[in-house]
Amino acid sequence: MADTAAQSLLHDVRLPLLVGRDRELAALRTALAATLAGRGSLVLIGGEAGIGKTVLAKVLLAEGVECGALALVGQCYDLSETPPYGPWVELFEQLAVEPDGPSLPAPLGINSPASDGMALFARARDALVAVRRPIAVFLDDLQWADAASLELLRYLTRRGASLPVLFLATYRASELTRRHPLYGLLPLLVRESDALRIPLRPLDLRSVTRLVADRYPLPEIDAARLVAYLDRRAEGNPFFIGELLHALEEGGLLLPSDEVGGAWELGDLARARLPSLVRQVIDGRAARLGEEVRDLLAVAAILGQVVPLGLWAALAEVEEEALLPVVEAAFDARLIEVADDGASVRFVHALVREALYEGIAPTRRRAWHQRAGEVQAAIAQPDPDVAAYHFQRAGDARAVMWLAHAGSRARALYAPQSAVDHFTRALELARQFRVAPSLSMYRERGLAHETLGEFDPAQANQEAALALARSMGDRKAEWQATLDLGQ
């Protein structure tokens, strides 16, 4: 069982992403050894997109599984605007199906609202405590996590040393502006939980040289040419390096020699019509699959990093069966991965999806987002965060209603800061689109502020709800607003 889990975690790990990371891997192994001995910790791995954060974490998780630890993975997503506790919901769903998992309900469920945040956090901790072996928890792309998920991470890691749980989290440092929730939280995490921060930097020339020497037995002069080419084009980004090497092999410029001994040959790199940006490398690979396949992959990129086949087919207005050859071609081209149940696909890297997404003309992109919002709204149990995101991207006034729905869900899940953010955005767009705001937007935002202990804005929102109720002549709403104000 452990072997299978470890192989699953490592199936997409590629050599370029692991070269030059000996020091970082040693630090991670020390943290893992402490967890296996009963002392948990938090490790934060930061760096730019494609620098190898996720792969480094997966290597450690696989080693943990080999040593008997339970690996749990929670992913944060950009395009679908990770819902409250999104990565934790994903993570605890994995715990619920473990043969030796605790026999208690998942502490975090989309349809299981909590009346008290601390009680919910305590239930999450109890679920981890109930597991009778060390645990490695991996939260990927923390820069896209919602505020509620970050607070739960803070709560759990503050007491982390007393639990045999290793918390691994990756984040893109370049996306942390001063207004980002994670920006201010990182110092607190380090201080409160004695977290280890591992900044991943671009590979130096020595590491790129080692990579080429280990992988390609080239004559010395050709090895030097290839190293210079990779260093100039990829600037030390392991993902870029891997993609450029793959493109050279596909283009017939880097091939095994016919001579005995396993030597390789390097062609004229001036003939390699490859730009310096990985987006263009990916575009070139997608273009080789044909215009129809590329266009359908662009439609998938509208939906996000993980793409359910049913939604993809509905958005593209084709039958699901028509997508199967597209999925097979894109999988062979290493652009997507297919879920074990075959019901969804995932772009192999955020940069792949971003490249396809940015290649869509802005006017066409808006139209696709509008259609995606309508498709999401029409399903049996629509996700309000996803629908709101697409309608916002489309510049469609329906975003106001769906943002309000997302705010209500966030408040029901005891994620008050997320609720405030959603209702604030809904009210901003209501003014922009000249849509009349609803009483509930002010009232629920006020209640969320009250939960956060922010009483001045709470009162201001309830006063706005009262004034709106009076202007509408709605006596019942006026009475409710008066009660909320305590008048």
The topology (CATH level 3) of 281-360 is Arc Repressor Mutant, subunit A (1.10.10)
304/215 Cα distance (integer angstroms): 34
Q: Where in the chain is the domain with CATH 1.10.10.10?
A: 281-360
**CA torsion through residues 279, 281, 285, 287, sign:** positive
Domain 381-485: CATH superfamily is Tetratricopeptide repeat domain (1.25.40.10)
Q: Where in the chain is the domain with CATH 1.25.40.10?
A: 381-485
What local confidence, expressed as pLDDT, does residue 287 receive? 86
Q: Where in the chain is the domain with CATH 3.40.50.300?
A: 2-199
Class of domain 2-199: alpha beta
What local confidence, expressed as pLDDT, does residue 258 receive? 76
CA 228 vs CA 50, 208, 224, 233, 269: distances in Å: 20, 9, 6, 9, 11
Closest to 443 in 3D by CA, of 431, 457, 453, 429: 457
What local confidence, expressed as pLDDT, does residue 58 receive? 93
What local confidence, expressed as pLDDT, does residue 10 receive? 52
Give the chain's residues under pLDDT 50. 1-3, 15, 103-106, 110-111, 274-276
420/403 Cα distance (integer angstroms): 11
SS3 at position 36: helix
Residue type, 306: V
What local confidence, expressed as pLDDT, does residue 458 receive? 94
**Phi, psi for residue 263 in degrees, rounded to 5:** -70, 160
pTM over 0.85, yes/no: no
What local confidence, expressed as pLDDT, does residue 276 receive? 44
Cβ(127)–Cβ(92) below 8 Å? yes
CA 313 vs CA 66, 327, 364: distances in Å: 39, 12, 18
What local confidence, expressed as pLDDT, does residue 405 receive? 97
Where does 103-158 have alpha helices with state H?
A: 117-129, 147-158
Closest to 74 in 3D by CA, of 159, 126, 149: 149
59/125 Cα distance (integer angstroms): 25
In the 8-state DSSP scheme, what is residue 170?
E
